[in-house]
Amino acid sequence: MTAAPRRPVPQRVRLGHVEWVEQRMSSRDWLILETVNRLKLVTTSQLDHIHFFTLHGRSQVVTRGRVIRRLIAWRVLMALPRRVGGAGHGSAATVLALDSTGRRLLAQRHAGGGVRFAGLPGERTVAHTLAVSELYAALVEQARTRGMVAVVAYEAEPSSWWPNGFGGYVKPDAYTLLAGDGIRDHWWLEVDRATESMPTLMRKALAYLDFYQSGQLGPGGIVPRVMFSVPSEQRRNAVHQMIASLPEPASALFFVALDRETAFALLSTLKE
């Protein structure tokens, strides 16, 4: 029997190496590190849209490649031993996670807190995590294109989870705060890949309704609206039917959009 390929695990690094790297980290290096920490996993093509958007064509590919290879060599980031499709952008992309030096740098910067490590994710977890990361990349790119609109915050789970007032949590896949035209919009995001049953989605929706009906408040002192991002028209119709079966204020609390249209739908609410 052929053994499964071993996944990389961060190894311990010496303090001297961490200090050496810290002295050589550029401002863009730090931004990339914070993005990977926030999202847990990110592809190189997603980083193109978030941190290398001022470059184009071969210049973008060469510069990003040089930066990522350096951060991997320094053990700030690690590449998972798989390549994925470019999330609608064509060629395959490398999946990146935090490595030991990156974790140590972030622990020092954040006084030991807020450091995320994806562990050893399976294929399904990787795909879902990257879908959450892809939504962030799309939001950043479209907000930049529109101008006067900003992605103020974006947190992936478990940082997106919020106490429900009964000792548990509502557990959105992500939370985002968008701002523009004097409006600040809070959203909880459910990035659905049609791998969960409709009864499971129904339980999630009921948890949000219970949160609202019990008088709890979420980020910003309000109850964020909930966007279901789905992969197909068939799934969108099924989620719409689920929402229609729920008691009010379900129609005002829940929204549905195709995954490729979710960023546009979220940012469009700032104009309403």
Is-same-fold flag (15-121; 130-271)? no
Does 202 score more than 60 pLDDT? yes
Taking the C-alpha atoms of residue 158 and residue 164, their distance in angstroms, rounded to an integer, is: 14
Lowest-confidence segment of 13-17, 80-84, 222-226 by average pLDDT:
80-84
> 2.60.40, 3.40.1350, 3.30.70, 1.10.10: which CATH number matches 130-271?
3.40.1350
pLDDT score recorded for residue 117: 59
Q: Which pLDDT band, with edges at 50, 70 and 90, does 144 fall under?
A: very high
**How many Cβ atoms sit within 10 Å of the Cβ of residue 226?**
23
Instruction: Specify the CATH number of the domain 15-121.
Output: 1.10.10
81: preceding bond cis by omega (within 30 degrees): no
pLDDT score recorded for residue 11: 63
**How many Cβ atoms sit within 10 Å of the Cβ of residue 249?**
12
Confirm if 154 and 134 have CB atoms less than 8 A apart.
no
Place of tokens 């007032």: 165
Higher local confidence (pLDDT), 123 or 244: 244
Starting at the earlier edge strand, list the strands of the sheet with 93-98: 42-43, 93-98, 77-84
Q: Which pLDDT band, with edges at 50, 70 and 90, does 212 fall under?
A: very high
Taking the C-alpha atoms of residue 240 and residue 34, their distance in angstroms, rounded to an integer, is: 36
Does 113 score more than 70 pLDDT? no
Q: What integer is the mean pLDDT of 145-165?
A: 93
Q: Say which DSSP state 232 is in.
A: S
pLDDT score recorded for residue 121: 66
Q: Say which DSSP state 165 is in.
A: S
Does 123 score more than 50 pLDDT? yes
Taking the C-alpha atoms of residue 207 and residue 153, their distance in angstroms, rounded to an integer, is: 23
Taking the C-alpha atoms of residue 163 and residue 8, their distance in angstroms, rounded to an integer, is: 33
Q: Which pLDDT band, with edges at 50, 70 and 90, does 9 fall under?
A: low
Q: What is the mean pLDDT of the chain?
A: 89
pLDDT score recorded for residue 3: 42
Tokens of 264: 């546009």
Q: What integer is the mean pLDDT of 69-88?
A: 79
pLDDT score recorded for residue 95: 94
Tokens of 142: 């479209």
> Domain limits of the chain?
15-121, 130-271
Q: What is the end-to-end Cα distance of the chain in Å, rounded?
A: 59
Lowest-confidence segment of 56-60, 121-125, 182-186 by average pLDDT:
121-125
Does 157 score more than 50 pLDDT? yes
Place of tokens 């200090």: 19
Q: Which pLDDT band, with edges at 50, 70 and 90, does 197 fall under?
A: very high
Q: Which pLDDT band, with edges at 50, 70 and 90, does 71 fall under?
A: very high
- Backbone angles phi and psi of 25, in degrees to 5: -75, 130
